[in-house]
Amino acid sequence: MRHEIGCEYFKPVGVPLRELEEVVLEREEVEALKLSKVDELDQKVAAESMGISQATFARIMAKANRKVAEAICEGKAIKLLKE
């Protein structure tokens, strides 16, 4: 991964972590989200940056987007794997 993740969890405010279900974002999913949404790279450039095919990048992004949407819509914690 090209950047360090600043935290291990994101969660809804006011609910103890122990009471929440969680979704887990793999390291490559976090990297793909950053390259696509923060750095605003297109899929081809982002895939090249990660050393993977564009099709693989698209699959990783789809999975990451689904997990983030699930956490937001269902009030779950998001665990960010660093390794």
**C-alpha–C-alpha distance, residues 56 and 44, integer Å:** 11
Model confidence at 82, pLDDT cuts 50, 70, 90, reads confident
Average pLDDT, the chain: 93
**C-alpha–C-alpha distance, residues 52 and 76, integer Å:** 30
For residue 77, give both structure tokens: 């914690």
Averaged over 34-39, what is the pLDDT? 96
**C-alpha–C-alpha distance, residues 62 and 77, integer Å:** 19
- pLDDT confidence of residue 7: 74
**pTM of the full predicted structure?**
0.87
pLDDT of residue 30 exceeding 60, the answer is yes
Assigned CATH for 24-80? 1.10.10
DSSP state at residue 14: T
Report the run of H or E that residue 23 belongs to, with start and end.
strand 22-25
Tell me the β-bridge partners of 24. Answer: 79
